């Protein structure tokens, strides 16, 4: 209480900055006057009386100082003083300060950006849903270890039995064809359980959400909830949207409400626009038995833990429930267990891949920041030594060690926090860069990343940590200073600064690791752009169609594809046309399939697998993949030919030891096929991948309800075909939209999107780091040289050539640099071999990066060394 | 000591307090008088004393300090504390070896 009152009073002084030194001065004057009178009475001479009074009073200045210390908040006043001083100092060295602040800002900005991505995936997996990280995935697990999803009936059983989870919700993703005949649009939606919105704790922007009873009886409630964006773009945000009809998969649904602004569904990072009760499934997807078939595992389940319940309890309950289901329904459920998973462990979606990739990126970037810190420490150390005299004066005038340390610290902290502030700004920009991500594959994707309190705190923490790291050395250095030494005209016996050299070595080592990482990354990205995919993407237009909403069967699917190809081939400008189920270089990869082939006996356990793609005749012509042996598939309407397959070279090499493949039988789940051709290897999943075995199936034998149209035309002319292709499809079925239209080059670019972001980061950061390393080395060497001016003068006077002097200086410094570089190089090599390329060493990178780094380092040594060697020996000896 | 002085003599200026402490202690406590002022400030901030300008004996402006109610309470508490401490110390000095055996 007392101390609080005292603090408030002090604070008052501090805030109002009342300068009433006047009061104390008057009091002291009065005091001395009274004492002098007293002394006069005691018989002293006037002069002596005053002298005695002064003696009795003690040091006036010391009293004043104590008084001031009592009055305000000296700690904060000192700090502010330090900061003012720091600001002055920084203004006196704008160049150095700019280098430091900018390099820190970039280091911190990049780290903060990456953290904001990571935290989005970890903590905000469901935008607009509060407490989203409390939601857990409820995933049935098949015997093979995969997660096949849950069936609707399973969901109903689990919902009743999992008491540790509040309101388990179910949803599945469906592409809808929305709109009137002839102008339908493919839009992604989710079929959801009745408790979906209430369990997520959402409030509608307008209207209402789906009620639980609306998802009870199949097909009775044709209602739909639309996303905020959809409302804005299709209904212009009008409140009359509620109650209007929307034609979805040729059924009329009534819009009942609009989801909150940022809500994008429950499968990050996909963005959904429509939500329909799951009980509408049979009405919208003709022929599905999703609601009654226990083997149709189409739904994903999530649930939030009840307060007090643990994940372990939920897991136990879930396992018990799944075991019970396996006993009750052995046909559909035997062998199926279940796992409770966190969102980032989601078996579907890119979370897992993103998290591990981002973790690596974050690690590299933290190393980069550490290198920046090392560099800054070195610059500061070099600067600190030029300030020895200033500090010596301060110590001589009575500044304590701690005051010196806090002075240096506050200077560096100011720099660091400036850097952090700028870094946070950069991070804001960096996170929005990810927000504008386009559709990836055919899926609409939205990352709602943002800089929030946590990331901001991270930025400031990083800044403070950096400040501490790089002020430690200079602060200690200056605080240990002996004022006598410092004031003496210095530099007669320059102390060799071990700290500086070690820092220089460390910095070069860190720079080496980061630069190699950057180079490896860029190299893989560059090779991705330049490697020959072994097919010809130029001049190919891609577009997709989907019959799944049209109640197709095998015959109608085959017939549709056949007619589509015929019509497309007849278009002017089209050189070749084909349909395939998969497009190479897709973000999610091409599925593989297990098989057995005649003439191969597998010795080890497991199954042979190969990339599988189902294509129409003409595919190889469109893709410009030559058939090395055999012929193309039989025409679509050919009913006589037996089931056919075409394999690639790698398949023949790996599974048939290069023996003749034509005519051999291939057995897959789809049945028995005859190999009729061998195609050249091409790239399937990623540029630079090792050759993969592949099997092409014929659309004629295994028709699909979805297809990717491939059209070859004159290169550069692809997009001109878009409207004609659309017209063809509309002619064949007015309810079908043509979607995901893109040239093959766009397709490739888009799928490199996630790799392009870090690649761009490294393009900026690599040279920056190299520049910083050069500045750091330059500063250290030129400082060391400046302190040895006299020594160098003596050498020159005794006849050393300047070349020798230069060589010696370079040799001395390069020794440390090479050590640091070598350690960094080995570290990078170890990481690369063990973690990234798995044994393959990218020689150009591992030779080129050190060469460049050492070249730059040598240059940074050479410039100051050369300057030193040019000095006039006489001038140097007279120096100081 | 400052509080007690003010308690006994009523409002007083800095010099007066210093003189008084000197007199009572019989010049045994000859500290620098200057150190008194920070102490006064601290007490004032704590609310134990209050100060205002007034005229000194020879009609010059001087700052007079007086005890507040808070200060009186504090004085009482501290007096009690001190008496206790003193009593304990006293007992230690009065205790003779034979008392303990």
Can you give A814-835 as a three-state secondary structure string? HHHHHHHHHHHHHHHHHHHHHH
**Its pTM surpasses 0.80:** no
From chain B, the residues in CB contact with A58 under 8 A are 31-35
Gyration radius of chain A over CA positions = 37
**Cβ-defined contacts of A178-183 (< 8 Å, 24+):** A178/A246, A178/A247, A178/A248, A178/A274, A179/A247, A179/A737, A180/A247, A181/A734, A181/A735, A182/A730, A182/A734, A182/A735
Which residues in chain B are closer than 8 Å to A69, comparing Cβ atoms?
38
Nearest CA-CA distance, residue A43 and chain B, Å: 18
Mutate to test the interface with B, among A20, A57, A62 (most CBs of B within 10 A): A57
- Are A56 and B42 in contact (CB < 8 Å)? no
State residue A738's pLDDT score.
83
B93 CA: distance to closest CA in chain A (Å): 35
Give chain B positions within 8 Å (CB) of A24: 37
Mutate to test the interface with A, among B37, B50, B52 (most CBs of A within 10 A): B37
pLDDT for res A13: 66
Residue A105 confidence (pLDDT)? 87
pLDDT of residue A288: 67
A401 to each of A407, A478, A480, A792, A849, how far by Cα in Å? 10, 9, 8, 34, 43
B20 touches chain A (CB under 8 A): no
Distance between CA atoms of A592 and A608, rounded to whole angstroms? 10
Angle between helices A498-530 and A351-386 (to 10 degrees): 150
- Separation of CA B85 from chain center: 17
Chain A: residue nearest B51 by CA?
A23
Interface test with B, best of A10, A26, A52, A67 (most B CBs within 10 A): A67
- For residue B13, list chain A residues with Cβ-Cβ distance below 8 A: 27, 30
Give the gyration radius of chain B's Cα atoms. 17
What is residue A227's predicted lDDT score, i.e. its pLDDT?
A: 93
Question: Rounded distance, CA A601 to CA A603, Å?
Answer: 6
Strand duo A165-178 + A671-679: pairing: unpaired
Instruction: Flag whether residue B42 sits within 8 Å of chain A, measured between CB atoms.
Output: yes
Kindly list the residues from chain B whose CB atom is less than 8 angstroms away from the CB atom of residue A33: 58, 60
Q: Alpha-carbon distance A608 to A593, whole Å?
A: 8
Inter-chain CB proximity B34 and A37 less than 8 Å: no
B96 vs A161, higher pLDDT: A161
Paired sense of beta strands A245-248 and A251-258, if any: antiparallel
Phi, psi of A706 (to 5 degrees): -120, 150
Cβ pair B37:A27 closer than 8 A = yes
| DSSP track, A68-92 | HHHHS-HHHHHHHHHHHHHHHHHHH
Residue with structure tokens 């000194």?
B56
Q: CB distance from B12 to chain A under 8 Å?
A: no
Cβ neighbours of B62 in A, within 8 Å: 27, 30
**Cα gap A148→A228, rounded to integer Å:** 31
A-chain residues near B56 (CB < 8 A): 30, 34
- What interface predicted TM-score (ipTM) does this complex get? 0.70
Interchain pair A62, B34: CB under 8 A: yes
Of all residues in chain A, the one with the smallest CA distance to B63 is A27
8 A C-beta contact, residue A248 and residue A241 = no
Q: How many CB atoms lie within 10 A of CB A35?
A: 22
Q: How far apart are CA A637 and CA A562, in angstroms?
A: 7
Angle subtended by helix axes A753-787 and A789-797, to nearest 10 = 60
The minimal CB distance from A66 to the residues B15, B38, B60 is found for B38
Quick check: B71 contacting A, CB < 8 Å? no
Question: What are the angstrom distances between the C-alpha of A866 and each of A784, A801, A803, A810?
Answer: 13, 12, 8, 10
With an 8 Å Cβ cutoff, is B60 touching chain A? Answer: yes
Contact A35 B33 (CB under 8 A): yes
Answer whether A28 sits within 8 Å of B42, measured CB to CB. no
Q: With a cut of 70, which residues of chain A have pLDDT below it?
A: 1-6, 8-21, 68-75, 144-145, 286-288, 348-353, 385, 433-443, 478-497, 528-529, 587-589, 604-606, 688, 751-758, 835-840, 876-880
Do A57 and B32 make contact, defined as CB atoms within 8 angstroms?
A: yes
Q: Of B33, B42, B47, which is closest to A31 when you measure between CB atoms?
A: B33
């Amino acid at each position: 209480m007392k101390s609080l009152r005292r603090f408030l009073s002090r604070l008052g002084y501090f805030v109002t900055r009342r300068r009433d030194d006047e009061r104390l001065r008057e009091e002291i004057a009065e005091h001395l006057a009274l004492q002098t009178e007293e002394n006069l009475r005691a018989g002293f001479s006037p002069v002596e009386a005053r002298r005695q009074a002064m003696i009795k009073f003690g040091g006036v200045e010391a009293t004043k100082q104590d008084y001031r210390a009592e009055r305000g908040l000296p700690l904060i006043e000192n700090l502010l003083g330090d900061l003012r001083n720091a600001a002055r100092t920084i203004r006196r060295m704008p160049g150095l300060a700019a280098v430091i602040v900018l390099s820190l800002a970039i280091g911190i900005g990049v780290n903060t950006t990456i953290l904001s991505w990571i935290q989005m995936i970890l903590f905000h997996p469901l935008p607009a849903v509060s407490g989203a990280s409390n939601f857990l995935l409820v995933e049935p697990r098949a015997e093979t270890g995969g997660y096949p999803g849950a069936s609707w009936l399973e969901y109903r059983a689990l919902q009743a039995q999992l008491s540790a989870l509040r309101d388990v919700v179910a949803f599945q993703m469906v592409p809808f064809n929305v709109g009137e005949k002839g102008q339908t649009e493919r839009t992604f939606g989710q079929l959801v359980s009745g408790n979906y919105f209430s369990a997520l704790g959402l409030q509608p922007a307008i209207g209402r959400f789906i009620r639980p009873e609306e998802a009870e009886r199949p097909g009775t409630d044709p209602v739909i909830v639309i996303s905020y964006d959809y409302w804005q773009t299709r209904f212009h945000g009008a409140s009359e949207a509620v109650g209007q009809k929307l034609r979805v998969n040729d059924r009329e649904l009534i819009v009942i409400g609009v989801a909150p602004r940022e809500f994008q569904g429950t499968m990050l990072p996909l963005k959904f626009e429509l939500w329909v009760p799951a009980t509408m499934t049979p009405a919208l997807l003709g022929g599905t038995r999703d609601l009654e078939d226990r083997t149709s595992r189409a739904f994903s389940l999530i649930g939030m833990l009840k307060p007090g319940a643990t994940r372990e309890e939920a897991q136990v309950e879930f396992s018990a429930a799944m075991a019970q289901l396996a006993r009750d329904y052995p046909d559909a459920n035997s062998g199926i267990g279940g796992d409770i998973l966190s969102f980032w462990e989601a078996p579907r979606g890119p979370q897992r891949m993103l998290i591990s990739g981002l973790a690596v990126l974050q690690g590299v970037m933290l190393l980069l920041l550490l290198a920046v810190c090392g560099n800054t420490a070195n610059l500061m150390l070099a600067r600190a030594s030029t300030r020895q005299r200033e500090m010596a004066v301060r110590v001589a005038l009575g500044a304590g060690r701690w005051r010196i340390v806090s002075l240096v610290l506050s200077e560096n902290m100011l720099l660091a926090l400036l850097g952090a502030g700028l870094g946070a700004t950069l991070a804001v920009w960096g996170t929005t860069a990810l927000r504008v991500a386009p559709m990836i594959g055919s899926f609409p994707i939205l990352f709602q990343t943002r800089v929030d309190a946590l990331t901001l705190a991270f930025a400031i923490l990083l800044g403070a940590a950096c400040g501490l790291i790089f002020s430690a050395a200079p602060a200690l250095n200056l605080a240990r200073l002996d004022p006598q030494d410092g004031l003496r005209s210095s530099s007669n016996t320059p102390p060799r600064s071990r700290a500086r050299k070690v820092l220089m070595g460390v910095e070069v080592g860190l720079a080496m690791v980061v630069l190699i990482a950057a180079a490896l990354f860029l190299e893989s990205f560059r090779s991705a752009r330049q490697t020959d995919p072994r097919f010809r993407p130029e001049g190919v237009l891609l577009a997709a169609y989907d019959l799944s909403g049209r109640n197709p069967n095998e015959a109608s699917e085959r017939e549709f594809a056949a007619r589509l190809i015929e019509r497309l081939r007849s278009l002017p400008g089209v050189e070749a046309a084909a349909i395939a189920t998969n497009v190479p270089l897709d973000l999610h990869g091409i599925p593989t399939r297990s098989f057995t082939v005649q003439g191969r006996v597998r010795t080890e356990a497991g199954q042979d697998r190969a990339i599988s793609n189902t294509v129409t005749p003409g595919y190889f012509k469109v893709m410009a993949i030559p058939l090395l042996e055999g012929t193309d598939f039989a025409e679509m309407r050919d009913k006589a030919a037996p089931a056919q397959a075409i394999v690639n070279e790698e398949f023949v090499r790996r599974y048939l030891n290069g023996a003749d493949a034509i005519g051999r039988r291939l057995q897959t789940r789809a049945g028995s096929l005859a190999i009729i051709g061998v195609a050249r290897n091409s790239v399937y999943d990623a540029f630079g991948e090792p050759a993969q075995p592949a099997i092409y199936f014929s659309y004629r034998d295994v028709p699909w309800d979805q297809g990717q149209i491939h059209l070859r035309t004159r290169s550069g002319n692809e997009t001109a075909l878009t409207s004609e292709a659309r017209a063809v499809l509309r002619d064949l079925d007015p309810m079908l939209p043509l979607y995901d239209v893109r040239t093959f080059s766009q397709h490739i670019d888009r799928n490199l999107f996630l790799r392009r972001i870090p690649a761009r980061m490294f393009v900026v950061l690599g040279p920056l780091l190299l520049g910083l390393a050069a500045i750091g080395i330059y500063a250290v060497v030129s400082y060391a040289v400046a302190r040895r001016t006299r020594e160098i003068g003596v050498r020159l006077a005794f006849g050393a050539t300047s070349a020798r002097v230069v060589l010696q200086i370079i040799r001395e410094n390069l020794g440390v640099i090479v050590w640091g570089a070598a350690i960094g190089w080995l570290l990078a090599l170890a990481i690369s071999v063990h973690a990234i390329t798995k044994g393959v060493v990218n020689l150009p990178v591992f030779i080129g990066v050190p060469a460049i780094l050492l070249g730059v380092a040598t240059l940074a040594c050479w410039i100051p060394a050369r300057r030193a060697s040019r000095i006039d020996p006489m001038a140097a000896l007279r120096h100081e | 000591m400052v509080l007690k002085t003010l308690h006994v003599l009523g409002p007083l200026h800095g010099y007066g307090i210093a003189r008084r402490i000197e007199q009572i202690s019989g010049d045994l406590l000859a500290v620098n008088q200057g150190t008194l002022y920070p102490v006064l400030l601290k007490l004032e901030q704590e609310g134990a004393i209050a100060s205002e300008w007034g005229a000194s004996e020879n009609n010059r402006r001087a700052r007079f300090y007086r005890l507040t109610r808070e200060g009186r309470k504090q004085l009482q508490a501290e007096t009690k504390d001190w008496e206790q401490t003193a009593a304990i110390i006293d007992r230690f000095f009065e205790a003779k070896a034979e008392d303990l055996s």
